[in-house]
Homo-oligomer: A and B are copies of this chain.
Amino acid sequence: MPHTPQYSGLLTDLYELTMAAGYLETGFDARATFELFVRSLPPRRNYLAAAGLDQALDFLEGVSFSGDEIAYLRTLPVFQAIGDNFFDYLARFRFSGDVWAMPEGTVFFPGEPILRVTAPVIEAQIAETPLLAAINFQTMIASKAARVTQAAAGKNVIEFGTRRAHGTEAGVLAARAAMIGGCLGTSNVAAGKQFGIHVYGTQAHSWIMAHEDEEEAFRKFLDVFPDQAVLLVDTYDVHAAVEKIIAMGRKPRGIRLDSGDFAADSKWARKRLDQAGWKDVIIFASGDLEEDRIAQLLAEGSPIDGFGVGTALVNSIDSPSLGVIYKLVEIEYRGAVRSAAKFSREKVTYPGKKQVYRFHRPDGQFESDIIGLEDERFQHAEKLLQPVMTGGKRCLPRTNLFEARDRCRKQVLQLPEQLRHLTSELESSPVSHSEQLEHSLSEARRRLQAAARI
């Protein structure tokens, strides 16, 4: 069964293609601008960290429809009345638009566009679903990782979640996003090779259980990895295992706790390892960890040097969906430019091409953001959106993940305490809209009410 090619145009919702046929057949050759943003913060989040841009741009650079894929589309009932013109168009299809985006690792807030696409309306439409899938997922994971690493307060956090990821590709992408959010590395070897992320890991319970005797299992692993062995000590009994290692007199690089009372066991183990003269043997903990438990363990003075975080991280388990959306904000059709807005109940989409202006206090601390139109001028403001693709080609290098991680760490540290807080949710937003943008919204509302005759 042939796998879907990575940049197949079919990796989208069917309605993007029916609308594409609709735009083409009715001659609606408009140029559209869509913005990608989050309407509101998910539970327990005061800030988000942008991630997934490289994969989004990879898709835009690579997307096409093969002959085989077009033959499949021709078989669909919805396209039975559609002529060759549309399928010929798909055969030539490439993304030719412009993209502005926040660099990966940027801390952002609801309402702020993190990516903006301007392209022929069909191209912008077909790109919607894969763009959202790329950015929604990695942004959710990077934002979770920022919380987890913040809780770890300088101790190392390794992403351990591949087995609980949404398939193998999701495992690799989760490792990437986790690094942007602050993780030191991952257990996922493919992510190590593909993205240059540091990889970690030593032995599982099965290694211990496969041997008749726990001491033999430790000894054999030390034989093979004399300088690298981090020994797993909770298969049967943590105290007995640590005593066996000390009695062998062969110093491992570290020990790993994967269950039990991490606070008590790490304190006891640290004391015994120190008594044995092994002050540099690290204690690593894994197993159902997340930011709350890590913060609690450290508050209790647990001498744990590093944390492996899996399921909770790669599924953002306390807040497992994000809600990034992609909304039409401007349309240019036959020379006329019209901004688009939406007002259904509490969902307001501001019209026009926007920019996010960030203000810092003199000491470098984050002060506030203003969402404005792209050509506004504010003194001392940093513009968060920058051009990343022109005419379908990247105009900036790919993300350096080490730089993206530094950016995220630095920006989180610049946030005031109330915004960085891990458990109390913020009452007021640090984001406002510019006067010009509010004015555009009022104008769009008047025009749309007239046009919709409601």
Task: List residues of A whose CB falls within 8 A of some B CB.
Answer: 1-4, 6, 8, 10-19, 21-23, 25-26, 28, 30, 32, 34, 54-55, 58-59, 69, 72-73, 76-78, 81-82, 121, 125, 128-130, 132-134, 136-137, 160, 162-174, 187-190, 192-195, 199-207, 209-214, 220-221, 223-228, 234-237, 240, 259-260, 311-312, 315-317, 320-323, 326-328, 331, 338, 340, 342-345, 347, 398, 448, 451-454
Contact = CB atoms under 8 A, between A and B. Distances in A.
A201 B162 contact: no
Contact of A237 (B11, B121, B209, B454): B454
Contacts of A338: 212
Contact of A328 (B28, B203, B209, B315): B209
Given A1-B195, A205-B327, 7 more contacts: A15-B204, A17-B189, A19-B206, A25-B224, A72-B193, A132-B164, A134-B167
Nearest to A212: B451
Nearest to A171: B133
Contacts of A207: 19, 22
Given A69-B193, A137-B167, A344-B236, A15 B202 contact: yes
B187 A342 contact: no
A147 B73 CA distance: 31
A201 B164 contact: no
Nearest to A170: B166
Contact of A452 (B15, B81, B236, B448): B236
Interface centre among A136, A192, A343, A452 (most CB of B within 10 A): A452
A137 B311 CA distance: 12
A393 to B, nearest CB: 16
Contacts of A69: 193
